[in-house]
Structure 1
Amino acid sequence: MHRSFIHALHRRLTTGVLLLVLSTLLSGCGTNLLSYYFDDLFQSGDAIERTPEQLAWDGVQAMQEKDYDEALDAFQKLKERYPYSKYAILAELKVGDAYFHKKKYADAALAYEEFIRLHPRNEVVPYVLYQLGMCHFLSFKSTDRDMEETRLAMDAFQRLIQAFPTSEYAPKAEKQIYECRKRLAEHEFQVGRLYYRMEKYKAAQLRLTRLLMEHPQAVKDLGYEEEIQAILADCRACLNRGDDGKSLWTKLGF
């Protein structure tokens, strides 16, 4: 019995000395090799579960280091594991930000919309609305395609201005609304000019007249005024002489 006790004590001391030596040798390396090789001796399964505070800290640190994948992972874990934590609302916001910085604008927009739905009176909602608008604004492809994303961007910016007119984000939203108007004006001009070239004079006239009424400043700043007036004058002349508005190809029998 006594000899068994001494043998067990000797084994523990030997193990302790070995671990102490290994700790001294390995802990100075750039990566914690002791932890890498021997963590499984002291704990089972995954690493000890991170607390809400630790996950929040991990996510914020990763965002500062522009490691958005790591940030997204931390904030999503925080949302899923601790939905009632005081840090959960931070995670809900930062999931949107992480997606935004990854240029995954559709995912970011969903996250921002969810935040607004869950926390409509939170003080950061003006920022979230602005970010939502930018998600749609940056999803824009080209003026010859559907302008739905630009319209959704305008809607978000207008919601921001109407609900929070004194917010620091309201002036930024106004600038972005003007950029949206320029996009819409460019699109409408291209469509109206296309109708004109196809000899669809009535359609061209309606499109370009509406453009002048809805986006006069954008038309002026884009330098379209002179060409639009010339097209409208020719449309009127063609319609006055009874042109049926059929395209050249239709008249040729195609």
Structure 2
Amino acid sequence: MKNAIKLILLLPLLTLLLNGCFDNKEKRESITKGWSPKTFFNQAKNSDSIEGSIRLFEQLQAAYPGSKYALQSKLEVAYMLYKNEDYDEAISYLNDYIKLYPEHFSTPYTYYLRGVISEDKSRSILDGYLTDNAQRDVDSVRNAFNYYMALIDKFPDTEYAKEAKSRLIVLRNILSRHELFVAIYYTKRSANIAAISRTKFIIEKYPNTPSVPAALHLIAHNYDIIGAKTLAKDARRVLKNSYPMYQPHYSLKD
């Protein structure tokens, strides 16, 4: 009799436990769609749209957070955001990745991709034809430069660091050219001291860039205007000795 009573009391509990198991199984299947991590990843890669791919990659991360496919999917999402020109969101995604996996073997790539994204953010399809990105806001160029420098400092022996070093040359040229445009602008506005400060910055900060001879020529011009004849003469002497073939390629006319 006692056993029968115990069984009656246990039945509701067993029913609840079984229902809980079935509920958990159903919830699990609703999250995973019944796919393995690899299948999930492939489905996301082959989606018909960027938005669809990103949605599936994020579902994969929720369903299998500890899998290698979940980790790779984070990089895939960042790259797709970049290709979709969601530059700031892509960089934010990569920053989070670096915080979570600072020493992972894939992390140098995230440093490199941040630089690439920042470079592209500053570009226009008309650059090289009608426009020059050095004449626009160069904050994203500076960011790219700093991202590449961080990569070289953190992972100096990687292939990405080698590529970053070559990209730094281009970025330095853009930044020095930007300073030259600003110095020309100040000169046109008769802000000669400000123009001198900018040209000095080019010569000191970007000594091996193509903008240096123009900076020397421009600084001499501004020294003449403020009556600093000796400094103007020194600047022209350095220009002649270092760049004997230089011919001015800029104009001070509006």
TM bin, normalised by shorter chain, reads: 0.5 to 0.7
Specify which of 165, 173, 176 is matched with residue 182 of structure 1: 173
Distance 1:233 1:241, change over 3 A: closer
Indicate whether 1:228 and 2:228 are aligned: no
- Consecutive aligned runs of 4 or more in structure 1 exceeding 6 Å deviation: none
| Distance in structure 2 (CA, Å) of the matches to 1:229 and 1:86 | 55
**Deviations 1:98-137 (Å, cap 9, x if unpaired)?**
2122232222111111111111110011111100111111
| Distance in structure 2 (CA, Å) of the matches to 1:207 and 1:166 | 35
Indicate whether 1:155 and 2:146 are aligned: yes
Query: Cα distance, 1:205 vs. partner?
Result: 0.7
Specify which of 239, 243, 246 is matched with residue 226 of structure 2: 239
- Please give the secondary structure, in 1, of the residue aligned with 2:42: helix
| Distance in structure 2 (CA, Å) of the matches to 1:156 and 1:166 | 16
Aligned to 1:194: 185
Distance 1:164 1:59, change over 3 A: same
Aligned to 1:207: 198
Structure whose alpha-carbon radius of gyration is higher: 1
**AA matched with 1:236:** Y
**AA matched with 1:135:** I
Query: Cα distance, 1:216 vs. partner?
Result: 2.0
The answer as to whether partners of 2:206 and 2:212 remain within 8 angstroms in 1 is: no
Range with greater deviation from structure 2 (91-100 or 194-203): 91-100
User: Which blocks of at least 5 consecutive residues in structure 2 are unaligned?
Assistant: 1-29, 124-132, 230-254
Aligned to 2:234: none
User: Which blocks of at least 5 consecutive residues in structure 1 are unaligned?
Assistant: 1-44, 243-254
Residue pairs, 1:1-254, within 5 angstroms: 48-62=33-47, 68-141=50-123, 142-218=133-209, 220=210, 224-240=211-227
**Deviations 1:14-66 (Å, cap 9, x if unpaired)?**
xxxxxxxxxxxxxxxxxxxxxxxxxxxxxxx999443433211212445xxx8
| Distance in structure 2 (CA, Å) of the matches to 1:173 and 1:48 | 41
| Distance in structure 1 (CA, Å) of the matches to 2:49 and 2:159 | 28
The answer as to whether partners of 2:202 and 2:215 remain within 8 angstroms in 1 is: no
Distance 1:47 1:150, change over 3 A: closer
Number of matched residues? 191
The answer as to whether partners of 2:118 and 2:140 remain within 8 angstroms in 1 is: yes
Q: Pairwise CA RMSD of aligned residues? A: 2.5
Range with greater deviation from structure 2 (196-205 or 85-94): 85-94
**Deviations 1:223-242 (Å, cap 9, x if unpaired)?**
x4443323211211221279
| TM-score where L is the length of structure 1 | 0.68
| Distance in structure 2 (CA, Å) of the matches to 1:118 and 1:226 | 46
The answer as to whether partners of 2:122 and 2:140 remain within 8 angstroms in 1 is: yes
Query: Cα distance, 1:176 vs. partner?
Result: 1.4
The answer as to whether partners of 2:192 and 2:222 remain within 8 angstroms in 1 is: yes
| Distance in structure 2 (CA, Å) of the matches to 1:151 and 1:228 | 20
Query: Cα distance, 1:200 vs. partner?
Result: 1.1
Percent identical residues: 23
Distance 1:136 1:240, change over 3 A: same
**Deviations 1:173-212 (Å, cap 9, x if unpaired)?**
0111111111111110000011111111111111011111
| Distance in structure 1 (CA, Å) of the matches to 2:40 and 2:32 | 13
- Please give the secondary structure, in 1, of the residue aligned with 2:134: coil
| TM-score where L is the length of structure 2 | 0.68
Distance 1:194 1:184, change over 3 A: same
